[in-house]
Each structure stands twice: as C-alpha cells, then as structure tokens.
Amino acid sequence: MDTHAQQTVAAAQIASELHQAQQVAKQLAISSKNARAIVLRAGSKAAGLAVIANFYDELANKTIFLAQAINLTALNISNHSVIEWRNSNALENLEKAFLLSEPDSHRDGITHFIDKLELHKRDLDHHFNRLMNELYNKLDEIQQHMRAIDVIAVTSKLEAVQTGDFRGHLVEMAEGIQMMANKIKEHVSHSISLLDQAR
C-alpha cells in the first residue's frame, strides 16, 4: 500500500481505537463515582480512600477529554493524508507527462506546476509531522494516566483492608478499575504501533 494510503488508514484506525478507549473511560468514570459512594457509606474507616476515589474520577474525565482530542487529531491526520495523497498523485502525473512530452513541445509549462506542487508537498509534510507529534504526545499522556490509575488501584486495595465490611466491594472495584485501565492501555499501545507502522 502507498505510504499516504497507509497513513490515512492508520489515522482512521486510531480514531476507532480511541473511540473504544473513550467508551471504557466513561465506564471508568462511573466506577469512580461508585467508589466514592461506597467510601461515603464506609465513613471514617475509609477516609483515606476518599482522596483516591476523587483521583480516579479526575483521571477518568481527563482520559475522556484526551480521547476526544485524539479523535479530532486523528481525523485531521486522515484528512491531511488525503490532501497529501492527492498532491503527490498530481505531482506523479505531471512528472510522467513531462517525461512523455517531446522536448520541442510546450512542456516547460508543466515545470512551473511541478515546482509549485513540490513546494506544497514540503509544507504538507511539515504540517503532517506536527500533527503526528501532537498525536504521539496525546497518546503518551493517556498512557501516563493509565499507569497512575494502576498504581492508585494497588494503593486502594491496601487501604481497603481497613474498611471492614466494605473491603470486598472496594477490592473488587479496584480490580475492575485496574482492568479498565489495562483495556485503555491496550487500545493506546495498538494506536501507537499503528502510528509507527505508518510513519
């Protein structure tokens, strides 16, 4: 497959991966609200968990927001790849026409457009790299959030020991949150590998 075609497809696949990650992040946000409710019911025994539950909520919301932003960037990359694809197709055809045309024809008229398209190609490449870096950074940021959630989940399991009757619920919830964070990490890792392949 042509590089532009690969990039267009990869960007669309990333948008789809992040859409799924966003759905998981929404579940994560609901779970964090549930955690907060249990912590309230557990009262003073679970005071340490209250901060943790708020933290979950905050990270889940940030992840939802980031996933939306990544979707937009991926869509921009996809559109941009199509423009680049068209531009390089035109350039290829003009170079072919130049080679096919006879030296005593009016072929000099083509070179002006070849130069123009090459210049445009450089601008597009520059802009494309900028968008790709933006995408990498955002994906990396989500990965960091997920790593943080992972660490907090371990801490909250330890804290849950002190909550007596609520321990079972809280441990189960922390494991659920950990599982969701892992799912999001998988989607993001897959997105990064798609991006690497298309570059």
Q: Which residues bind other proteins (CB under 8 A)?
A: 86, 89-90, 93-94, 96-98, 100-102, 105-107, 109-110, 113, 117
Residue 98 CB, shortest distance to other proteins, in Å, is 8
Nearer to other proteins, 96 or 199 (CB): 96
Q: How many CA atoms lie within 13 A of 152 on its CB side?
A: 25
Nearer to other proteins, 116 or 199 (CB): 116
Nearer to other proteins, 45 or 107 (CB): 107
Residue 2 CB, shortest distance to other proteins, in Å, is 15
Q: Are 38 and 56 in contact (CB under 8 A)?
A: no
From residue 91, give the alpha-carbon distance in Å to each of 88, 109, 129, 150: 5, 14, 20, 49
Quote the CA–CA distance of 81 and 198 in Å, as a whole number: 11
> Among residues 142, 190, 189, 174, which one has the least CA distance to residue 52?
174
Quote the CA–CA distance of 136 and 198 in Å, as a whole number: 13
Tell me how crowded residue 100 is: count the other CB atoms within 10 A of its CB.
Answer: 9
Residue 122 CB, shortest distance to other proteins, in Å, is 16
As a residue count, the chain comes to 199
Residue 5 CB, shortest distance to other proteins, in Å, is 16
Residue 101 CB, shortest distance to other proteins, in Å, is 4
Nearer to other proteins, 55 or 85 (CB): 85
8 token code pair: 């267009």
Nearer to other proteins, 75 or 110 (CB): 110
